Amino acid sequence: MGRTILILFLSMMGVLLPRKAGAQISPGPLAQAHAHLEGMANCTRCHSLGNKVTNEKCLACHTPIRDRVSRNKGYHAGAEVKGKMCYTCHNDHHGRNFQIIRFDTESFDHRKTGYPLEGKHSGADCRSCHQQKYISDPSLKKLKNTFLGLPVSCSSCHEDVHLGHLGKECQECHTPEQFSPAARFDHQQSAFPLKGKHRQVKCEACHKRSLKNDKAFTLYRGLKYQRCADCHQDPHGGRFGQDCRQCHSEESFTLVKGQGSFDHSRTRFPLEGRHERVRCADCHKGKLTDPLAFARCTDCHKDYHQGDFVSEGAVTDCRECHSVQGFAGSSFSIERHQTGPFPLKGAHLATPCLACHKRGESWKFRAVGQGCRDCHEDFHAGKIDARYYPEQDCQSCHSENSWREISFSHSVTRFPLEGKHAEASCRQCHFRPGLGGVPVQTFQGLSAVCENCHPDAHYAQFKVQDLTDCSRCHEPLDWLARRFDHDRTRFPLEGRHLEVTCDKCHPRITLGAISYVRYKYEDVRCENCH
């Protein structure tokens, strides 16, 4: 009933009011897409009485968006958009040529649609995919400027080069990065896992090209592979049957099982670890039955450490630190290191072996040094007097637990630390701004004068011969002027002056960025204050 009355009222207003008054009711012409809604009689098709445009009114017309939001799908169902009023992004009455949808395709984050662009898709132009011919929903095909309605299956945009031979789930084998090679396909999970020499065969050697409906494609299914002869020619002409595996393996055709399957464990040198992969000819240079030396690793292997582990004139056998599983890595434990000349303590326990034993091209284990300077740069060289750390021994001040753990006694210097100074970190006094604001360590030549570290809060009121001696009033305990005695000044406090607070006579003076308390007066006569 209320809507009918409003329409009648607006209709009458349209008749009774001049055109100028009608223009004042409308904020402005509608965009081209909404031009058919012009006129006061159509206001309530978008507007509710007493309210602005509501989402319900918008979605009553824009049903594709409504359907996707109701299914919690797509950009408008995302946390960034869902729940917002439509008009905050898409408002009207700005003229016929106004773009209600202002879509920045350059910076749009496609992940918000539920379909992130990855690999080659990330560089594709929007309209290369968002075309009417790719839209699967018939109700959306009539829209000329929509980004909706695209299916996410590969075959909806891309030609099936396998012609249905491998199904439509392209993502099982391919990635968005590139179509070839099929990065997700694992031949080892197929009915014919590749082993031995088969790993080196090119795909096209087995997977030939074929035709379907006069179109060429690569044949991946329906291949014969049950017998070796399905792919390989029999060089024996059938004299030994068709089962090649009785004598040969996929590792090598030239390796005959009668030789390759020899039980080496029956000898005095069972093959274990990496030795199991060594070719017979690598060790047996002549006849297989010729005797070989094998008691020590160096009988076959070069001394990698070049005599670094010689004991009593003989090279220590590799087995003391390494195993046949591989030369890389070592069984030399921390416990064994602790029995050596340099037991590991503190932070050294967390130091990787190569930090000390591979500082050049090769590993070095003997004569690597035991002093701090053998491994560490003297950070304080030329900056701290040598008498404080004789022979550049860092442990004079630092601990092996941490470089920041310092046990230096400042009492041996000309400036013993007392009070608050004892709580300060070394850096507060000994690291000063250098070029470009980079802190520079400074230990020598530091002055013990307070002003060397602390700003003069009194702005030279107590300078004597260009020097402010803070200790006349202050102690290292805190900044309180414990040593100051007003009775020792030119104006001892007596009578009612004893009841006056300090700031009544000593106000704070502010001059621009400078602020200080005024303590000194040239004239202390009564009339200067009273």
> Does position 288 have pLDDT exceeding 80, yes or no?
no
> Does position 358 have pLDDT exceeding 70, yes or no?
yes
For the ranges 41-55, 135-149, 510-524, the maximum mean pLDDT occurs at 510-524
Least confident of 186-200, 206-220, 424-438, 507-521: 424-438
| Dihedral (Cα; 376, 379, 381, 387), 10-degree rounding | -90
**What is the reported pLDDT for 306?**
83
Least confident of 128-142, 231-245, 409-423, 460-474: 231-245
Q: Which residues contact 286 (CB under 8 A, 6 or more apart)?
A: none
Classify 317 as helix, strand or coil. coil
400-425: average pLDDT: 88
Q: Do residues 180 and 236 make contact, with C-beta atoms less than 8 angstroms apart?
A: no
Q: Do residues 520 and 461 make contact, with C-beta atoms less than 8 angstroms apart?
A: yes
Q: What is the mean pLDDT of the chain?
A: 85
State the DSSP H helix or E strand holding residue 5, giving kind and residue range, or none if neither.
helix 2-16
> Does position 51 have pLDDT exceeding 80, yes or no?
no
**What is the reported pLDDT for 239?**
62
Least confident of 121-125, 245-249, 462-466: 245-249
> Does position 173 have pLDDT exceeding 80, yes or no?
yes
Can you list the alpha helix ranges (DSSP code H) found in 197-236? Answer: 203-206
* For the chain, the helix, strand and coil percentages under 3-state DSSP, each to the nearest 5: 35, 10, 55
* pLDDT interval class at 1 (50, 70, 90): very low
Q: Which residues contact 410 (CB under 8 A, 6 or more apart)?
A: 416, 417
**What is the reported pLDDT for 487?**
92
Q: Do residues 23 and 40 make contact, with C-beta atoms less than 8 angstroms apart?
A: no
Straight-line distance from the first to the last Cα atom of the chain, in angstroms, rounded to the nearest whole number: 86
DSSP 214: T
491-518: average pLDDT: 93
d(CA 313, CA 307): 10
* pLDDT interval class at 101 (50, 70, 90): confident
pTM, rounded to two decimals: 0.40
> Does position 127 have pLDDT exceeding 80, yes or no?
yes
Cα-Cα-Cα-Cα dihedral sign, residues 480, 481, 486, 489: negative
* pLDDT interval class at 8 (50, 70, 90): very low
63-91: average pLDDT: 90
**What is the reported pLDDT for 257?**
67
d(CA 263, CA 293): 19
DSSP 64: H
- Of all residues in the chain, the percent with pLDDT exceeding 70 is 92
**What is the reported pLDDT for 17?**
44
d(CA 384, CA 426): 13
From residue 26, alpha-carbon distances to 10, 23, 49, 294 in Å are: 12, 5, 15, 102
> Does position 494 have pLDDT exceeding 70, yes or no?
yes
Residue with tokens 């979605």: 59
Write out the two tokens for 315.
Answer: 């090279």
**What is the reported pLDDT for 266?**
65
227-244: average pLDDT: 79
Q: Which is more confident, 27 or 17?
A: 27
d(CA 78, CA 84): 11
- Of all residues in the chain, the percent with pLDDT exceeding 90 is 22
* pLDDT interval class at 435 (50, 70, 90): confident
168-177: average pLDDT: 90
Q: Computed over its alpha carbons, how large is the radius of gyration of the chain?
A: 45
DSSP 28: S
Q: Which is more confident, 432 or 12?
A: 432
* pLDDT interval class at 19 (50, 70, 90): very low
Q: Do residues 506 and 519 make contact, with C-beta atoms less than 8 angstroms apart?
A: yes
Written in H, E and C, the secondary structure of 90-146 is CCCCCCCCCCCCCCCCCCCCHHHHCCCCCHHHHHCCHHHHCCHHHCCCHHHHCCCCC
Write out the two tokens for 481.
Answer: 């002027």
Write out the two tokens for 469.
Answer: 């001696």
> Does position 240 have pLDDT exceeding 70, yes or no?
no
Please report, for the chain, the start and end positions of each structural domain, with discontinuous segments joined by +: 2-102, 154-223, 372-444, 455-528
Q: Do residues 162 and 220 make contact, with C-beta atoms less than 8 angstroms apart?
A: yes
385-392: average pLDDT: 86
**What is the reported pLDDT for 12?**
43
Q: Which is more confident, 216 or 142?
A: 216
- Residue 250 has φ and ψ, to the nearest 5°, of -75, -10
| Burial of residue 221, with CB atoms counted within 10 A of its CB: 0-12 exposed, 13-18 middle, 19 or more buried | exposed
* pLDDT interval class at 280 (50, 70, 90): confident
Q: Which residues contact 479 (CB under 8 A, 6 or more apart)?
A: none
Q: Do residues 506 and 517 make contact, with C-beta atoms less than 8 angstroms apart?
A: yes
**What is the reported pLDDT for 507?**
94
